[in-house]
Amino acid sequence: MYQFFYDLTGNVIISTIAVAVVPLVNILIVALIGVYLERKVSAWMQDRVGPNRTGPLGLFQTVADFVKMLQKEDATSTEIDRKLYNIAPVLVFAGTFASFAAIPFSKHLIGSEIEVGLFYILAVSSFVVAGILMAGWASNNKYSLLGSMRAAAQIISYEIPTAIVVLSMVMLTGTLSLTQISEIQTAHFWNWYIFGGPGLALSKFLLIPFMIVGFIIIFISTLAEVNRTPFDIPEAESELVAGYFTEYCGTKWAMFMLAEYGNMFAVSAIVSILFFGGYQSPFGYLGNTLGVSWLIPLEQVGWFIAKGWFFIFIQMWLRWTLPRLRVDQLMSLCWKYLIPYAIVNLVIIGIISLL
């Protein structure tokens, strides 16, 4: 995409900004619709109506909230470490935003076509931990500190099963580039890795159960990494007020929320790229059938966003189904269940891929 803008404008700065704006707009839209959808989904699951006063069907509720948030006074406590306090939300948001650089929205709509995209995303998404710890520490508040400590423990623990599953997928595909992983799963949905990947060899059918296990493990662990219920102990509102961003308000608080929803989309994107074909259409492209080649990228973007939203919906669904895990349960789930299963899964997938 950078090359495209560079060819178009011939200016390094303009093309860089143009490339950066696309994921930013996506994050904003995800946050705007995500907050609305979260309220609506929670309401429907609890047999309520949800927001319905601001605009038709309450569609402008998030816009109204956003405007309110911008108008708020930037109230800060006197005892905070002002520098770290101000940097922290930026850092958390930067971590989320950076991970969008390597996520392919279509074959060419990708911020940076780096070869180590998967590795890069794992690296920058754990960068968020630094911001969270900083926020908790600089707030000079017991709840914030507790929340950020929990967040650090949780995110670092759950990196391991994520990384192991990603490793097994890398072993199978032989590439770290997200675009190439998506390209392998092209054509139809039975080529997706959740259905054993492309080809019709015996190994494809042997892989299916282990792919499902891998999918469940990576879904649970990425859910924990974005601090959402049932793994929301870092910001457990019933015990820690709001966790690490208790002391924040207004725009800075909004940045944490943006980062949360951006992260939700990012992990959904990774799960859909690894197991559900990423931007690939499950039924072949309309553009190919009609012979209109310019339709294909649009379809790809559409499928990618649809898949992302599908997993965001599942995350919300889980949020309004399950109660929060206790700290010890959280740790035992990770270390006693997810990691052993992930390692066994890795070994078995390795053996199958040798066949």
For binding to another protein (CB under 8 A), which residues are involved?
A: 41, 43-49, 52, 216, 317-318, 320-322, 333, 337, 341
Decide whether 4 or 317 has the Cβ nearer to another protein.
317
The torsion angles phi and psi of 161, rounded to 5 degrees, stand at: -60, -35
The answer to whether 266 touches 103, Cβ cutoff 8 Å, is yes
Query: Which residue carries 């590439």 as its tokens?
Result: 175
Please, what is the minimum distance in Å from the beta carbon of residue 339 to another protein?
Answer: 13
10 or 323, CB closer to another protein? 323
DSSP states of 49-88: ----SSSGGGTTHHHHHHHHHHHS-----TTS-HHHHHHH
Cβ at position 237, least distance to another protein in Å: 20
Task: Decide if 278 contacts 178 (C-beta within 8 A).
Answer: yes
Comparison of 189 and 341: residue with beta carbon closer to another protein: 341
CA angle 148/152/153 to nearest 5° reads 120
Provide the minimum distance between the beta carbon of 160 and another protein in the complex, in angstroms, as a whole number.
Answer: 18
Distance CA 355, CA 351 (A): 7
Residue bearing tokens 């309450």: 58
Of 217 and 267, CB closest to another protein: 217
CB of 216 to another protein, least distance (A): 7
What three-state secondary structure class fits 253?
Answer: helix
Residue with smaller CB distance to another protein, 1 or 224 = 224
Least Cβ distance, residue 15 to another protein (angstroms): 44
